[in-house]
Amino acid sequence: MELKQIIQLVEGEVLTSGFDINRPVRGGCGADLMSDVLAYIGPGALLLTGLCSAQVVRTAQMADVAAIVFVRGKRPSLDTIALANQERIPLITSAHGMFELCGRLHQAGLHSLETPA
């Protein structure tokens, strides 16, 4: 699925610039624990999270996350947005909650890239 389609599905607002909206996203994962992201997701995933510290961007960079969606209208600080711009990791915020967004994306054909423990 392409990033632009995801942005539409989550009714997201894009917080960063300079990335390719046609970038393909291989699957998704939802997590608030960054260690879970580091341990249990495959590369190229969309990350849905309620956490919005700079560590989310660093975690995304290490785990090769394709893009980050902040759920329930959360917004990271300007420093975090600047870091994401620098590392070219797209940040999107959506007013909807985690369950709703995971459901929408899964139903639209975005598969889980989470691996069971």
Partner 1 sequence: MNEGPIRADRVITDGAAGLITRVEELAYELKIGEVMTSPAKTVTPDMRMSDVLALFRDAKVSGAPVMANGELVGIVSIADLIRALQENNTAAAVSEYMTMQVTTLEAGSPVIEALKLFTATRVGRLPVVDQAGHLVGIITKGDITRGVLRALEYDYQEEEVRKYRARHLFEDIVSDRTSLTLRYKIKQGDFAHGGNASSHIKRALVRLGASPQIARRCGIAIYEAEMNLIIHTTNGGAVRVEIEPHQIVMETIDDGPGIEDIDLAMTPGYSTAPDSVRELGFGAGMGLKNIQRCVDDMYLDSTVGRGTRLEMRIFLKPDEQLGDSSSPADRAGRNGGASQ
Q: Which stretch binds partner 1 (CB under 8 A): 66-74, 77-85, 95-103, 104-112?
A: 77-85
Question: What's the gap between Cα 67 and its chain centre?
Answer: 4
- Pairing status of strand 91-93 against strand 13-14: antiparallel
First to last CA, the chain: 26
Residues 27-46 contacting partner 1, CB under 8 A: 32-36, 38-39, 43
Residue among 8 and 111 whose Cβ is closer to partner 1: 8
Q: Which stretch binds partner 1 (CB under 8 A): 16-24, 66-74, 99-107?
A: 16-24
Q: Please report how the helices 54-62 and 78-87 are oriented relative to each other, as an axis angle in degrees rounded to 10.
A: 20
User: Maximum CA pair distance of the chain?
Assistant: 35
105: number of Cβ within 10 Å:
24
Residue 17 engages partner 1 in binding (rule: CB under 8 A): yes
Residues at the site binding partner 1, with contacts judged by CB under 8 A: 4, 7, 12-21, 32-36, 38-39, 43, 49, 51, 53-56, 58-59, 61-64, 78-79, 81-82, 85, 87
